Structure 1
């Protein structure tokens, strides 16, 4: 029987690997083609904006060419000479940097408390905090404005930072990451060594949160830097506008200064690109960790 079985097996054709390889290669080509198409779709508006910022106003909508002919720096020179652009730029960057630093620290501290401490009302507080994610910012815009004004805290450098100090999304993100990535044994070891709770947080917990802190920093910076509604309601002096509000005033002008708006938008995108380049490693590590552990 063994000989007969071996003959039958020998007579059966071997599985063809070439078909599987061809299907795998075809699937990879289709995937890369789809990714390239999406990349073109996302990058074309940015490339068009950069190219159009070097065109005269009359040529911006007359052609979709990505090569400005003739190229001119007049849009940038008029923007910087006729508008307080650098003041808007400085306020936006300064507010975003301060708000990001404070937000990352507060969210990490609050997330650590929710993840590793037991206290009365913990579930209620966490439920209220988490439920606030479903409330649009426009709903609390007027009450927040009245609260800031009544408290005599309407100084732009302070008031512009208030909404981004302790975002619910950041606290929830830190709480989840700490639960998954910080073992209780490490914290107990720190307590046995005589460290205070804040020392444990600063020396042990924070270094372990580096990937998630980078991801949260990118998110916080973009939220604060791109904020439009809150500065629009809060600030009335044009010299204290943030970049989104300032560029909107150019767009709302009677002559529709698209050339100045495009030049300002290109310059305004520089900080966001730099933040991504500086924190891309931590951002990717944080996203990867969340995908593996979540």
Structure 2
């Protein structure tokens, strides 16, 4: 390590500490009684150490339903979105059809529109068409994100030569067969990166569930933890315990897809 890089490494260490500190504080606070969470001076090691926060959260609050709702919605939305984005990106990248450039420009331009702008029209459309069921409506906004389609289109253009597809067509493969057996396996790194991004988008969503869901039994985790936070007692102990449990699916997904995620990001960095 050269002296010239010492400031860079010091800056990166500070960033790491800054990002890690809230999680460490939440983990520590989740094992403390409510009155000790904001004690001064702050203590990193809980004293006294207690599991009552987790016990209360899991037995006296509908945390299990919130957790199941968020996880199932995020998994389904991610699975559908990854497939749809890969299919749409493949169409934009490898097929020539009338209006292709116009459709792509419209799709790409939608990246500049904040979700809050389309939130009310989307809600009205779903309610008027009778599709306002939370299990369905919570998934709709994440099915075909413009960012995911653009990401897949760029990766396919850079990584899959036309000659491979033409050879498969000459061998008699169908278009969907080519997509399933050739394109999808080659897209594995980018699919992993997109899956992580898409899961977090759906799993962490707060504004859309807030507008859509009125039944507390169908709350997602962000809504459920918010109800604990805004209650009269300000249940910080339960909120911190819930936050620690809520991060587990995201960490598990990263562990499972870390190889594909790093490969996808590094490939984009090299070829972009």
Alignment RMSD: 0.9
Q: Note the alpha carbon deviations across 1:80-115, whole angstroms, 9 max, x for none.
A: 111100000001000000000000000000000000
TM-score (normalised: structure 1) = 0.91
Determine which of 97, 101, 121 is the counterpart of 1:123. 101
Determine which of 129, 132, 149 is the counterpart of 1:154. 132
Q: What secondary structure sits across from 1:148 in the alignment?
A: helix
Aligned residue for 2:241?
263
Q: Note the alpha carbon deviations across 1:164-202, whole angstroms, 9 max, x for none.
A: 000000000000000000000000001001011000000
In the alignment, the residues of structure 1 paired with residue 102 and residue 12 of structure 2 have an alpha-carbon distance, to the nearest angstrom, of 44
In the alignment, the residues of structure 2 paired with residue 25 and residue 168 of structure 1 have an alpha-carbon distance, to the nearest angstrom, of 42
Pairing of 1:45-64 with structure 2 (within 5 A): 45-63=22-40, 64=42
Residue 32 (structure 1) shift: 2.4
Pairing of 1:132-151 with structure 2 (within 5 A): 132-151=110-129
Residue 156 (structure 1) shift: 1.1
Pairing of 1:45-84 with structure 2 (within 5 A): 45-63=22-40, 64-84=42-62
Structure showing greater relative contact order (alpha-carbon pairs closer than 8 Å, 6 or more residues apart): 2
State yes or no: 1:230 paired with 2:230: no
In the alignment, the residues of structure 2 paired with residue 149 and residue 180 of structure 1 have an alpha-carbon distance, to the nearest angstrom, of 41
Pairing of 1:249-260 with structure 2 (within 5 A): 249-260=227-238
In the alignment, the residues of structure 2 paired with residue 192 and residue 150 of structure 1 have an alpha-carbon distance, to the nearest angstrom, of 48
State yes or no: 1:277 paired with 2:246: no
Pairing of 1:165-180 with structure 2 (within 5 A): 165-180=143-158
Larger radius of gyration: 1
Determine which of 9, 12, 18 is the counterpart of 1:41. 18
State yes or no: 1:89 paired with 2:67: yes
In the alignment, the residues of structure 2 paired with residue 25 and residue 183 of structure 1 have an alpha-carbon distance, to the nearest angstrom, of 41
Residue 29 (structure 1) shift: 3.1
In the alignment, the residues of structure 1 paired with residue 131 and residue 255 of structure 2 have an alpha-carbon distance, to the nearest angstrom, of 35
In the alignment, the residues of structure 2 paired with residue 157 and residue 280 of structure 1 have an alpha-carbon distance, to the nearest angstrom, of 28
The number of residue pairs the alignment matches comes to: 271
Q: What secondary structure sits across from 1:239 in the alignment?
A: helix
TM-score (normalised: structure 2) = 0.98
Q: Structure 1 stretches of 5 or more lacking a match? A: 1-23
Q: Structure 2 stretches of 5 or more lacking a match? A: none
Aligned residue for 2:4?
27
In the alignment, the residues of structure 2 paired with residue 117 and residue 140 of structure 1 have an alpha-carbon distance, to the nearest angstrom, of 30
Residue 252 (structure 1) shift: 1.0
